[in-house]
Amino acid sequence: MNRPALVLFDLDDVLVGYDHAVRLTALSSRTGIAPKDVHRALFTAGVEKAADQGGLDVEGTLAALSVELGAPVSLDDWIASRAEAMSARPEVLALAHAAAGVAQVAILTNNGLLLRDHLERMHPPLFPLFAGRVFCSAQFGRRKPDPAIFLDCLALLGVPPAEALFIDDKVANANGARAAGLRAHHYQGTYGLRSALTTHRLLELPA
């Protein structure tokens, strides 16, 4: 099997653990607004969805969330609450570093520009490995599993679909990548990821 030129990773629940409840509690603590109302503002009112789809830029996201909460939300508040919800996965990151020895690596996540632009502050262990290679749904105006988002991302990276391997914890997103012509692996744990990377010759030492 030919080795892919690129390994494209999902972020949440692949490269990092993500705990939604922790995020709500952290933002509640910083704003003085109850977690249920934080959830309503982010999700029921659609602020997060609008940001993920590219309808809100960084300033617009913070402004809309502040309006919905009835309390100011600063950039530091947003970054800190998102960071608290993310936990390290050193075994997965080690595999990403190993793959980077023989291929490009990048991130494609359904998220807004706030996360793309400030991910290094939220989770420093991902850098410098993914520096300049964090892509989000907001910049493309479409979300996974839409096959077009994978093609848009690969166009920026200069990699043909057949030469890319995509890793995601959601079956639908992996299937979307396959529909776009990429190879894909449904992430269910480190053992399976290691096996997939081995199969695709991504853990071999460079010649």
Mean pLDDT over 50-76 rounds to 94
Q: How far apart are CA 170 and CA 114, in angstroms?
A: 22
pLDDT tens digit sequence for 72-125: 999 999 999 999 999 999 999 999 999 999 999 999 999 999 999 999 999 999
H or E element at residue 49: helix 47-52
Per-residue pLDDT band for 151 (boundaries 50, 70, 90) equals very high
* pLDDT above 70 (res 10): yes
Strands (E), 34-111: 86-88, 104-109
Does 156 have pLDDT greater than 90? Answer: yes
Q: How many residues does the chain have?
A: 207
Confidence of residue 207 (pLDDT cuts 50, 70, 90): low
Contacts of 51 (CB under 8 A, 6+ apart): 60, 61, 111, 112, 113, 114, 138
Domain ranges of the chain: 6-18+87-199, 20-84
Q: Which fold has domain 20-84?
A: DNA polymerase; domain 1 (1.10.150)
pTM for this structure? 0.95
Four-way CATH pick for 6-18+87-199: 1.10.760.10, 3.40.50.720, 3.30.200.20, 3.40.50.1000: 3.40.50.1000
Q: How far apart are CA 105 and CA 132, in angstroms?
A: 11
String of DSSP letters for 120-136: HHH-GGGTTTTTT-EEE
pLDDT for residue 206: 67
Q: What is the pLDDT of residues 162-205, one digit of tens each?
A: 999 999 999 999 999 999 999 999 999 999 999 999 999 999 87
